[in-house]
Structure 1
Amino acid sequence: MTDLLPLLASAWVLGLLGGGHCLGMCGGLMGALTMAIPPEQRGRRLRLLVAYNIGRVFSYATAGLLIGLAGWAVANSPAAMALRVVAALLLISMGLYLAGWWSGLTRVEALGRGLWRHIQPFASRLMPVKSVPRALLLGALWGWLPCGLVYSTLLWAASQGDALESALLMLAFGVGTWPVLVATGLAAERITAMLRKRGVRLTGGIAVILFGVWTLPGPHQQWVMGHGSSAHQQQSSHLQH
């Protein structure tokens, strides 16, 4: 469990840093969810937003479980290394996109458009959202919207080689996207304006790029892990003496 905690924290931070991208993909829907609700009914607006995001995150976790099964199937094969490399390259591409340096990753989103074409009509019928169950179902459907950030994170989660772990990582990632989308739905202009700033996008993009570089298999991971292990062994030896 202790080995999983840093990965869960990384997935959460990845979702938080990618909030600017989520704002572009789902920000309009967040506003539409609450547009017809008077400002004085803030509690009702919040309930709909929370229900929508619970449904969306549930879809991410489901996708993580499904693709995690594929990752588990190749965990002990030569394909596992290739999967990890592809996941790292996609994360680096996502960082370049967030920083505004390269938008080639948007082409990856075309891979999911076929599936989305079948889901979108059902999602559209749920609008306008007037109840919590409808918001929950809409979120569960909208979670399958083609998204380069989600695809990148999915492959990274699958590269861990454990279906349950992949689902938990996608759950943590989805929760990380909450602050941005909930704030947008509640018309928190200051927060959304801050996330749109060039400096914030650059910081988030560079952080995701570094995370992608770290994900690449190589001696850098062995060095850090070995250094940490040596330090731990030295500390244990010191305590024994």
Structure 2
Amino acid sequence: MPTSLTLTTAIILGLLGSAHCLGMCGGIAASIAMTQSRRYYLVAYNVGRIFSYALAGFLVGSLGFMIKDPVTGLILRTGAGLLLIAMGLYIGQWWKGLTRIEKLGQGLWSIIRPAASKLLPVQTLSQALLLGFFWGWLPCGLIYSTLIWSASAQHPLESAVLMFTFGLGTLPAMLATGLLANEIKQLLQRQWIHTVAGIVIIAFGIYTIPWTGLTH
């Protein structure tokens, strides 16, 4: 199973990437929790969303396991590191090139989106859960970066656990935006938040690239 350091990295990536998550999913989360009685729906939505991340991790981990060899591992770790650096630059608002990578998932999303749209407005817990599961497949550079990083484990269960842990990292901000939408949005729009998060994610990306023995 993943080491504690790796799990810590996964949850920190989720926490630091929350500003990006709010831009992608915050509107849906806020609309689900508009009233006190619907706050359980927000929890169900996020459970479905995190489950979709874990499932995606399991799938990419299975691919990595089927072609498990040292060279593949090096390629995956290098790709993951470069994508994390790109994500850090994106979150830090220094470079927007990562949005091009998000377009790669538009084909899958065009298939999923009609089914997700039919669940709105959310009226039941099961609808919220399913909507979260669908919305977890929304094209997102942060998710793609973390997926490739998790795939470097080259084991389906390990990759699934890493993505699940990453999802837990995004949970505080996603739950808060449904309850304190304006306050959280204003906080995460501050430039110093983006700068610190961007720098730390870039550092994770540099650490991930296997160019020294420190990354083994």
Q: Same fold (TM over 0.5)?
A: yes
Question: 1:152 matched to which residue of 2?
Answer: 145
TM-score after normalising by structure 1: 0.86
CA contact (8 A) 1:45 1:186 kept: no
The count of aligned residue pairs is 216
Equivalent position of 1:93 in the other structure: 86
Distance (whole Å) between structure 2 residues aligned to residue 23 and residue 171 of structure 1: 18
Q: Is the 8 A contact 1:84 1:217 kept in 2?
A: yes
Alignment-derived partner of residue 76 in structure 2 = 83
The answer to whether the 8 Å contact 1:74/1:80 transfers is no
Distance across 2 between alignment mates of 1:188 and 1:47: 16
Instruction: Report the Cα offset of residue 188 of structure 1.
Output: 4.5
The residue type paired with residue 102 of structure 1 is W
- Once residues 74 and 154 of structure 1 are traced to their aligned partners in structure 2, the CA distance between those partners, rounded to angstroms, is 16
Is the CA contact (8 Å cut-off) linking 1:180 and 1:192 kept in structure 2? no
Which residue number in structure 2 is paired with residue 27 of structure 1? 26
Q: Matches of residues 195-206 of structure 1 in structure 2 within 5 Å?
A: 195-206=188-199
Letter in 2 for 1:12: I
After TM superposition, give the deviation of residue 14 of structure 1 in Å: 0.2
Q: Where does 1:16-55 land on structure 2 (aligned, <5 Å)?
A: 16-35=15-34, 37=35, 42=36, 44-55=37-48
- Where does 1:41-190 land on structure 2 (aligned, <5 Å)? 42=36, 44-190=37-183
Percent identity between matched residues is 50
Deviation at 1:33, TM superposition (A): 1.4
Q: Distance in 2 between matches of 1:58 and 1:84?
A: 24
Larger radius of gyration: 1
8 Å contact from structure 2 (residues 30, 181) kept in 1: no
Runs of 5+ unmatched residues, structure 2: none
Q: CA deviation at 1:180?
A: 1.0
Q: Which runs of 4+ in 1 moved over 4 A?
A: none
The whole-number CA distance in structure 2 between the counterparts of 1:206 and 1:46 is 34
User: What is the match of residue 10 of structure 1?
Assistant: 9
Q: Is the 8 A contact 1:123 1:142 kept in 2?
A: yes
Asked if 1 retains the 8 angstrom alpha-carbon contact of 2:32 and 2:39, the reply is: no
Query: Cα RMSD over matched residues?
Result: 1.4
